[in-house]
A = this chain, B = another copy of it.
Amino acid sequence: MLRLARSAAFTARVARPVRLTRGLASLAEKYYPNEPTVPVIKTELPGPENKKAIEKLSKVFDTRAAYYVADYYKSNGNYIVDVDGNTFLDVYAQISSIALGYNNPALIEAAKSDQNINAIVNRPALGNFPSSDYADILAEGLLAGAPPGLDKVWTDLSGSGANETAYKAAFMYKRAKERGYNTPFSEEEIASSMVNSSPGSPQMSILSFETAFHGRLFGSLSTTRSKPIHKLDIPAFDWPTAPFPKLKYPLEENVEANAAEEKRCLEQVEKTIKSWHNPVAAVVVEPIQSEGGDNHASPAFFKGLQEITKRNDVLFIVDEVQTGVGATGKFWAHEHWNLPTPPDIMTFSKKAQAAGYYFSNPELTPNQPYRQFNTWCGDPSKAIVARTIFQEIIKNDLVAQTAKVGDYMYGKLEALATKYPKDITNLRGKNKGTFIAWDAESPAARDQFLKDCRANGLNIGGCGARGIRLRPALVFEKKHTDLFISIVEKVLSK
């Protein structure tokens, strides 16, 4: 029954025709009748209230990475307001984590609902005492938006937790394949696991890519290779890495070189899987490496990668923590690849607000209870929020809208790149919704650009060494795009 519900919702999502931009624009106006029409910068940045607020907070909490202290009560739609009343058009959206804009009325209703209040006040240990409505909450939400072919879900609390529990599932699966799914553990395994030694704690590994980002706890950080500052001083597992394609732009002028680069990387992946001293249980990959610089690869690359994992009997884990939930113009970015079979595991967090992983193979559920387990096993309140986000996206065709808006935005940026070829290089993300990025001339130029944008009322983020990434919410429209482009041009023209 749950499967049917999910399939029906999913079919509806796929089959529904794309509405016209006009219809979509009125939706955003419905959501946000009082959305500002332009950014307003009233003070120098940071303003006096910000300075006070940072000083106060910094006594008890690390604020050195703070752009500013935000007033979320006044933030609205695509606009974020700081405590000085400065109003920014937001194309960063809490590091890609706001799907429907600030103070979305549907989300407010969901948050206020008796069901959500109940879930907060009586937060269950879902593994031992699941709540009576959790099956429906999942079916109507997280599973209604599940990627094609993946019909089960494990809920966790963060992107790091989602990836780490996925890795745990992969290790247990891989050892079960070797041992037999229902074969009991040996005495030696049992004893050695308690002292962190092989064979009970096997010397196995997860292969990740150079410049990947998969989180910052110990297992996920061992697969993160984005920047030294993420990794320095933290012990890590002896796990392998392979090169991620470094594509040349524009793509249409570099077809052969890019194909050769992807081939080189794939060969290296397979060579590493075959030769790494700690056997590889899974390969984890982002559809677009985000923190690491918005690095793209072609569908052919990912298809080839999946073939390699199948050929070598390792699992294929797609990390959609940042790429998922509509921003690329598909609900899940890996849908762009048209894989012949689904990935083994796909992880999510951020815009879903809930976190976890999807899977299908029943053998990815370990052979005994309490193996994939913790006190909370997720959070029904976040699953309720996810349900509304997914339902609003599906009901209002926000993925299709984002695809259109992204195409429009990309075209405008392409034109700007012609005008400012030094400042906008390696423009990327064509046909990937609003998941667009480019490179500045240098890290310093990038940092200055971001700062200048903020001074002009645009909240925007970087990635990699000199990348600028766009991560607006799914309610970002043509009119916001025009404003965004005008600010970028204003900054670049100086």
Contacts and interface: CB of A to CB of B under 8 A. Distances in A.
B229 A61 contact: no
B376 A97 contact: yes
Nearest to A322: B375
A366 to B, nearest CB: 8
Interface stretch (A218-226, A261-269, A407-415, A482-490): A218-226
Contacts of A71: 131-132
Contacts of A298: none
A104 interface: yes
Q: How many copies does the complex hold?
A: 2
A416 interface: no
A228 B60 contact: no
Contacts of A63: 130
A7 interface: no
B185 A53 contact: no
A420 to B, nearest CB: 27
B222 A122 contact: no
B73 A118 contact: yes
B70 A130 contact: yes
Contact of A94 (B60, B123, B139): B123
A204 to B, nearest CB: 6
A129 B152 CA distance: 34
Given A70-B131, A128-B95, A152-B60, A111 B103 contact: no
Interface string A144-156: 0000000111110
Contact of A129 (B66, B159, B349): B66
Contact of A369 (B65, B111, B195): B65
B195 A151 contact: no
Interface in A72-97: 72-73, 75, 80, 83, 94-95, 97
Interface class of chain A by DSSP: loop
Interface string A341-360: 00000000110010000000
B80 A129 contact: yes
Contacts of A25: none
Interface stretch (A160-168, A247-255, A395-403): A160-168
Interface in A51-65: 53, 56-57, 59-65
24 contacts: A53-B135, A57-B130, A61-B126, A61-B138, A94-B129, A94-B375, A95-B128, A97-B375, A98-B122, A103-B121, A108-B121, A158-B161, A158-B375, A159-B375, A161-B217, A165-B217, A168-B234, A189-B228, A196-B231, A201-B234, A203-B235, A205-B235, A217-B219, A237-B237
Given A61-B154, A65-B127, A176-B233, 10 more contacts: A61-B155, A70-B130, A164-B217, A193-B228, A196-B237, A200-B232, A216-B374, A217-B217, A218-B222, A381-B381
